[in-house]
Amino acid sequence: MNKSKAIIITMLLALMSAIILVTASVALFSKSVTVENYLQAGTLEVGLARTSLRGQVPDADGVLQQETTDSDRVDLTAAQTDDENDSVFTFGTSGVPGMWQEATLEIENRGNVAFDYSVAFFFTSTPEAGSAEERLAGKLLVTVTDAQGNVLTDAGTTLAGIIERGALPLGSVIEEGEKQMFCLKVELPLEENVLDDGSGETIMNAQLSFNVTVTATQKVS
């Protein structure tokens, strides 16, 4: 009897050993390798400045002056003051037919992302239909010239027309620190044999405000 028990115990031990060996034999080798990755988003940053402003504008008495050029550099990037000189144009409050201004603007890539840029005009407040302001917007002529000297507007393009047209692509600025120049001109032309006596279809006392928006967008290709 004791011999039988011994045999059974020996068999059980052998079986357990076999199970342990089989279990150990199916275990797979495994090792993980973790590699840290790093990415920093680029920066799209733009500088905009007016480098010169030339034209003919009236003085405080409304007398149209000879052509002048203002070569003072004005940073427009964050110009949010009430100072008229911080604007693209400085027509004043005594506008008369025959006045015009042409602003030379400089756009600079201050970041490390290449971009395309465009210019658009917007009314600060849309003129009422039939108002003197609407008539003035239909008489002011706008000319846009890109960095290569190409005129992008048709002859006779009015402020109202260019606002309706939307953004005009001007070019691309690729390298960090790269700068390009472009020009914007606004003119209230003299109309031959036409007199405005302040009645009827007049533009006298019209008060018109508009924004010039330069937009930079990441260059895709």
pLDDT digits (tens, 9 = 90+) for 46-70: 999 999 999 999 887 888 889 999 9
In a domain? residue 3: no
Supply angle C-alpha 85, 73, 49, rounded to 5. 85
HSE-CB for 142 with a 13 A CA cutoff? 24
Residue 12 lies in a domain: no
Distance CA 57, CA 60 (A): 10
Terminal Cα distance for the chain, rounded: 92
Full domain range(s) for residue 81 = 46-218
Inform me whether the pLDDT recorded for 81 exceeds 60: no
Distance CA 21, CA 19 (A): 5
Dihedral angle, C-alpha 17, 18, 21, 27, nearest 10 °: -130
Q: If we measure between CA atoms, which residue out of 161, 168, 124, 127 comes closest to residue 145?
A: 168
The reply to whether the predicted model has a pTM over 0.85 is no
The confidence score (pLDDT) of residue 20 equals 54
Residues contacting residue 215 through CB under 8 Å, at least 6 positions apart:
117, 118, 119, 120, 167
Beta carbons within 8 Å of 204's beta carbon, 6+ residues apart: 132, 196, 198
Indicate whether 10 belongs to any domain. Answer: no
- Asked whether residue 56 is domain-assigned, the answer is yes
Residue 151 confidence (pLDDT) above 80: yes
Q: Is pLDDT at 141 greater than 90 in this prediction?
A: yes
Predicted confidence band of residue 8 (pLDDT cuts 50, 70, 90): low
Mean pLDDT of 141-148: 96
- In this prediction, residue 142 has a pLDDT band, given cuts at 50, 70 and 90, of very high
pLDDT in tens, 83-137: 666 899 998 887 889 999 999 999 999 999 999 999 999 999 999 999 999 999 9
Q: Considering the domain boundaries, does residue 35 fall inside one?
A: no
Instruction: Give me the number of domains the chain comprises.
Output: 1
A 10 A CB-CB count for 96 gives 16
32: in domain: no
Sheet architecture: strand order including 168-173: 168-173, 115-123, 210-218
